[in-house]
Chain A
Amino acid sequence: AQSVTQLGSHVSVSEGALVLLRCNYSSSVPPYLFWYVQYPNQGLQLLLKYTSAATLVKGINGFEAEFKKSETSFHLTKPSAHMSDAAEYFCAVTTGGGNKLTFGTGTQLKVEL
C-alpha cells in the first residue's frame, strides 16, 4: 500500500522568507511523487513531479523538491515566498500501473507581510 504524510496542516511564513512544506511517503515499490497546489474554489494544479529521473526537481513559480530515498521524503521548497503563494498544497504518490494518486491531507500556506 502507498501513503503520504504531510507534516503541518498550516504553515505561516513572512513574504520573502523560505518556504518549506514537508512530505514523507510510504511505498513498497519505487514511487512517483507529485506536488499540487489548490487555490480557493479551484481544482488542483501540478507544481512538479518526480518520476525516477533527477532527484532535484524544479517546478513552476520557483518551487522545487528533492527526492530522498533514504529519508522517504519529498519536501517542497521555495527560496522566497510571495503573497500569491498562499494556497493549499498537496503531496501525492502513485505506484503501480493503475496510476492512482494517493494524496496527503494538505498543508495550508499563509504568507504574511
Chain B
Amino acid sequence: EAGVAQSPRYKIIEKRQSVAFWCNPISGHATLYWYQQILGQGPKLLIQFQNNGVVDDSQLPKDRFSAERLKGVDSTLKIQPAKLEDSAVYLCASNSGPRGETQYFGPGTRLLVL
C-alpha cells in the first residue's frame, strides 16, 4: 500500500514570496491533516479536512495561509506572502477518521524562508 506522498521535499524562497505544497493521502482515507513542525518543536495542527470539508482550521494563520482539498483526495497548502517564521517542515497525514485511529504521515516538505 502506498503511503502519504508529499512534494516538493525541499523549498527555499525569499520572504514575501508565495509557495505551495502538495499532498496525496493514502487511498481511501477520508481525513487529511496538515501540520507545521518548527525546528525543536512538536508538530502543530494547521488544518484538518474530512473529505473536502474543513473540520478544524483554528490554528491556521488565515491572513497568509490557505488550503484546499478539491474532490476530497489531494490537498494543497499555500503560503502567501511567506515570512521568516514560516521556516518549518510541513507534514501531511491521513486516516479514515474515527477517534483514536492512527494518523499516517508523509515525509514532509522542508521550507526555508530567507
Residues on A close to B: CB < 8 A? 4, 9, 32, 34, 36, 41-46, 49, 51-52, 90, 92, 94, 96-106
Contacts and interface: CB of A to CB of B under 8 A. Distances in A.
24 contacts: A9-B40, A32-B99, A42-B108, A43-B4, A43-B106, A43-B108, A44-B91, A44-B93, A45-B105, A46-B103, A96-B99, A98-B56, A99-B31, A99-B95, A99-B103, A100-B45, A100-B48, A100-B56, A101-B33, A101-B43, A102-B45, A103-B42, A103-B44, A105-B40
Q: Which of A49, A52, A101 has the most CB of B within 10 A?
A: A101
A92 to B, nearest CB: 7
Q: Which of A34, A43, A45 has the most CB of B within 10 A?
A: A43
Q: Which of B43, B44, B91, B110 has the most CB of A within 10 A?
A: B43
A100 B93 CA distance: 11
Contacts, number: 67
A97 B104 CA distance: 18
B1 interface: no
B55 interface: yes
- Enumerate the 10 nearest inter-chain pairs by beta-carbon distance, A residue then B residue, closest first: A103-B42, A43-B105, A32-B100, A51-B100, A44-B105, A43-B107, A46-B102, A103-B43, A43-B106, A105-B42
Q: Which of B4, B44, B97, B103 has the most CB of A within 10 A?
A: B103
